Amino acid sequence: MSQSPVDLSFYQTLLESTKAIPWQFEWGPQRFSYIGPQIETLLGWPQASWQSTEDWAERIHPEDRQRAVEYCSEQSLQGQDHELDYRALTADGGYVWIRDVVHVVRDGEQITALMGFMFDISEQKKQEQQLRLMNQQLEQMNQQLKRISSLDGLTGIPNRRMFDQSLENEWRRCLREDAPLSLLLIDVDRFRDYNSYYGHLIGDSCLKQIALVTQMVAKRSSDLAARYSGEEFAVILPKTDSAEAGQVAQDLLYRVEQLAMPHGDGKPNSVVTVSIGVATLMPDAETTCADLVVKADEQLYLAKSHGGNRLFSEGRFWKTAQQLDAGLGDFLSRGG
């Protein structure tokens, strides 16, 4: 049983009943031969007003116009089917996101027409924008969490985790660049007695002030001051030799005593002080950053065992804070 031929108007009615907007553009005269009536519902421009290339181009958002026109022209001239997204201006001054799907009609090597469909993708673009914003917010939250996880909750300076990572990184960098790496380990003298006498709130305040001082002496962007443990702090000094590290330690020793925080241990004019161990190594294949920590800890032990409020470097005693007042200017000049 043969089928009766179908009137072409059936297909036209079918196409015009969908949300996809069919169109056809004649390549020779550069004019639209057809565009679906849905265009007026979507954009507000009368169906009959779509005549030339200019009618299409002028109704593209100015920020998208050049890109859309150049891309469509380039792909069409190459005979390539293509699609592009752009914002189409509406008659009332707004815009709608359009996806234009284009088929190039050829007669042999000759382009005769372009035909395709316009789709309203505004909702899709809205969802994409919301997704981008959500991803940006998540990234910001991740960065914030990462930052928080690397800081000490009490003092706000880098914590032990950040210290360990930074020391490992700086060790590798100094190894590559054949440069010395120095480390200061700092311990608050008789802090348990201080905490017992004043209580934990005042003790916490004391640690916060000392943390600020350690940040002050870590002057370069590559230097790092961190809270190492309870009342211990550390300062990493890349590309710093033993003499320079000793000067930084002297600066720190002096500044802490100048805070003039009363200790309350019963001794006249007693204030909070620190002991500092200074170590310097030239990284090589036979050593690790753990060796630097051990060496600094040994120097810190010597400083504390000799009464505190002093620093030791390479087994050598350096001046106490009280002896530094006169010559402080000699070592405060170290900077970026």
The β-bridge relationship of strands 224-227 and 232-238 is antiparallel
Residue ranges in the chain assigned as alpha helix (H): 8-16, 38-43, 53-58, 62-77, 122-149, 160-177, 191-198, 200-217, 242-258, 289-305
Q: Average pLDDT of the chain?
A: 88
pLDDT of residue 316: 72
Tell me what the mean pLDDT of segment 55-68 comes to.
96
Total domains, the chain: 2
Tell me what the mean pLDDT of segment 168-190 comes to.
96
pLDDT of residue 329: 39
31 and 158 both lie in a single domain: no
Q: How open is the CA angle 293-299-304, to the nearest 5 degrees?
A: 120
Exposure of 131 by Cβ count < 10 A (0-12 exposed, 13-18 middle, 19+ buried)? exposed
The answer to whether 170 and 234 have CB atoms below 8 angstroms apart is no
Exposure of 224 by Cβ count < 10 A (0-12 exposed, 13-18 middle, 19+ buried)? buried
The pLDDT of residue 284 is above 80 = yes
CATH number of 77's domain: 3.30.450.20
Catalytic residue numbers read: 231
The answer to whether 300 and 233 have CB atoms below 8 angstroms apart is no
pLDDT of residue 330: 40
Domain boundary among 125, 160, 183: 125
CATH number of 224's domain: 3.30.70.270
pLDDT of residue 325: 46
Euclidean distance between CA atoms 222 and 334, whole angstroms? 14
50 and 188 both lie in a single domain: no
224 and 93 both lie in a single domain: no
262 and 173 both lie in a single domain: yes
pLDDT of residue 327: 43
Euclidean distance between CA atoms 159 and 247, whole angstroms? 24
pLDDT of residue 314: 83
185 and 303 both lie in a single domain: yes
Q: In which residue are the tokens 């994409």 written?
A: 128
Owning domain of residue 252:
152-330
pLDDT of residue 12: 58
